[in-house]
Amino acid sequence: MDLLTPGPGLIIWQAFVFLLLFLLLSKLAWKPILHSLKEREQSIQHALDSAENAKKEMANLKADNEKLLRETREERDKILRDARDAANRIHDQAQTDAKKNADRMIEDAKSIIQTEKNAALRDVREQVAMFSLEIAEKLIKKNLSDDKSQKDLANTFIKDLKLN
Amino acid sequence: MNKPFSASKSAFLITFLIVLTSVFSPVSGADKTGGESEPFNASEVILHHVMDDHQWHFADWLVMPLPVIVYSAEKGLDVFSSSRFYDEHHKAVEYNGYKLEHNHITLTGSGKAVFDLSITKNVAMLFITAALMFFVFRSVANGAKNNKGKAPKGLQSFFEPIILFVRDEIVKPNMGHHYEKFMPYMLTLFFFILFGNLLGLLPGAGNLTGNIAVTMTLAVFTFLITNFSGNKGYWSHIFWTPGVPLPLRIVILPVEIIGIFTKPFSLMIRLFVAITAGHIVLLSLICLTFIFGSIIVGVGSSVIVLFINLIELLVAGIQAYVFTMFSSMYIGMAIQDHSHDH
- Answer with the one of B118, B152, B180 that is the final residue of a domain: B118
The answer to whether position B38 is within a domain reads: no
The pLDDT of residue A120 is above 80 = yes
- Answer with the one of B58, B83, B118 that is the final residue of a domain: B118
Domain span at residue B113 reads: 67-118
pLDDT at B26: 45
pLDDT at A150: 78
Structural domains counted in chain B: 2
The pLDDT of residue A59 is above 90 = yes
A1, A14, A22: which to substitute to probe chain B, counting the most B Cβ within 10 Å? A14
The answer to whether position B20 is within a domain reads: no
pLDDT at A106: 92
In this complex, do B211 and A26 lie within 8 Å of one another by their Cβ atoms?
no
Percent of chain B with pLDDT strictly greater than 90: 39
A3, A23, A39: which to substitute to probe chain B, counting the most B Cβ within 10 Å? A3
In DSSP terms, which residues pair with A89 in a beta bridge? none
- Decide which of B114 and A19 is more confident: A19
The answer to whether position B287 is within a domain reads: yes
The pLDDT of residue A6 is above 70 = yes
The answer to whether position B47 is within a domain reads: no
- Residues of chain A contacting residue B214, judged by C-beta atoms under 8 Å apart: 10, 14
Instruction: Report how many Cβ contacts below 8 Å link chain A to chain B.
Output: 119
pLDDT digits (tens, 9 = 90+) for B157-188: 899 999 999 999 999 999 888 888 899 999 99
The pLDDT of residue B80 is above 70 = yes
- Residues of chain B contacting residue A42, judged by C-beta atoms under 8 Å apart: none
Which uninterrupted H or E stretch holds B279?
Answer: helix B246-292
Residue environment code for B185-207, b if the CB has 16+ CB neighbours within 10 A, otherwise e: bbbbbbbbbbbbbbbbbebbbbb
How many whole angstroms from its chain centre is CA B257?
Answer: 28
pLDDT at B12: 52
- Decide which of B242 and B256 is more confident: B256
What is the radius of gyration, based on Cα positions, of chain A?
64
- Decide which of B110 and B140 is more confident: B140
Asked if residue B274 and residue B142 are part of one domain, the reply reads yes
CA distances from B36 to B32, B40, B43, B47 (A): 6, 10, 17, 19
Asked if residue B112 and residue B127 are part of one domain, the reply reads no
The phi-psi region of residue B96 (left if phi > 0; otherwise alpha if psi is between -120 and 50; otherwise beta) is left
User: Contacts for B46-51 with beta carbons within 8 Å, 24 or more apart?
Assistant: B46/B280, B46/B283, B46/B284, B46/B287, B47/A2, B47/A3, B49/B207, B49/B279, B49/B283, B50/A3, B50/B207, B50/B210, B50/B276, B50/B279, B50/B280, B50/B283, B51/A2, B51/A3, B51/B103, B51/B207, B51/B211
The answer to whether position B135 is within a domain reads: yes
Asked if residue B188 and residue B79 are part of one domain, the reply reads no
The pLDDT of residue A77 is above 70 = yes
Asked if residue B309 and residue B210 are part of one domain, the reply reads yes
Asked if residue B181 and residue B316 are part of one domain, the reply reads yes
Asked if residue B201 and residue B132 are part of one domain, the reply reads yes
- Residues of chain B contacting residue A20, judged by C-beta atoms under 8 Å apart: 130
pLDDT digits (tens, 9 = 90+) for A88-115: 999 999 999 999 999 999 999 999 999 9
- Answer with the one of B54, B87, B118 that is the final residue of a domain: B118
In this complex, do A33 and B163 lie within 8 Å of one another by their Cβ atoms?
yes
Average pLDDT, chain A: 89
The answer to whether position B59 is within a domain reads: no
For A14-48, give the DSSP string.
HHHHHHHHHHHHIIIIIHHHHHHHHHHHHHHHHHH
Asked if residue B272 and residue B137 are part of one domain, the reply reads yes
Residue B110 and residue A51: Cα distance in Å, rounded?
A: 80
Asked if residue B272 and residue B162 are part of one domain, the reply reads yes
Q: How far is A56 from chain B (nearest CA, A)?
A: 26
Asked if residue B217 and residue B206 are part of one domain, the reply reads yes
Q: Does the CA dihedral A133-A137-A138-A139 come out positive or negative?
A: positive
Q: Does B71 touch chain A (CB under 8 A)?
A: no
The answer to whether position B232 is within a domain reads: yes
In this complex, do B184 and A15 lie within 8 Å of one another by their Cβ atoms?
no
For B92-151, give the DSSP string.
B--BTTEEEETTEEEETTT-PBPEE----HHHHHHHHHHHHHHHHHHHHHHHHHHTTTS-
Percent of chain A with pLDDT strictly greater than 70: 98
- Residues of chain A contacting residue B52, judged by C-beta atoms under 8 Å apart: 7, 10
Would you give the DSSP letter of residue B186? H
What are the strands, taking DSSP E only, across B170-317?
A: none
Asked if residue B100 and residue B201 are part of one domain, the reply reads no
In this complex, do B217 and A9 lie within 8 Å of one another by their Cβ atoms?
no
Q: Which of A138-147, B71-80, B136-145 has the lowest mean pLDDT?
A: A138-147
Q: Does B188 touch chain A (CB under 8 A)?
A: yes
pLDDT digits (tens, 9 = 90+) for B230-255: 888 888 888 877 888 888 888 888 88
Question: Which residues, numbered 12 to 51 in chain B, qualify as contacts with chain A under a Cβ-Cβ cut-off of 8 Å?
Answer: 47, 50-51
- Residues of chain A contacting residue B130, judged by C-beta atoms under 8 Å apart: 17-18, 20-21
Residue B97 and residue B99: Cα distance in Å, rounded?
A: 7
pLDDT digits (tens, 9 = 90+) for B85-100: 887 777 778 887 888 8
- Nearest alpha carbon to residue B225 among B255, B194, B176, B260: B260
In this complex, do B212 and A4 lie within 8 Å of one another by their Cβ atoms?
yes
Asked if residue B187 and residue B111 are part of one domain, the reply reads no
In this complex, do A32 and B141 lie within 8 Å of one another by their Cβ atoms?
yes
The answer to whether position B28 is within a domain reads: no
Q: How far is B299 from chain A (nearest CA, A)?
A: 30
Range B265-271 average pLDDT: 94
Range B330-335 average pLDDT: 90
Asked if residue B141 and residue B114 are part of one domain, the reply reads no
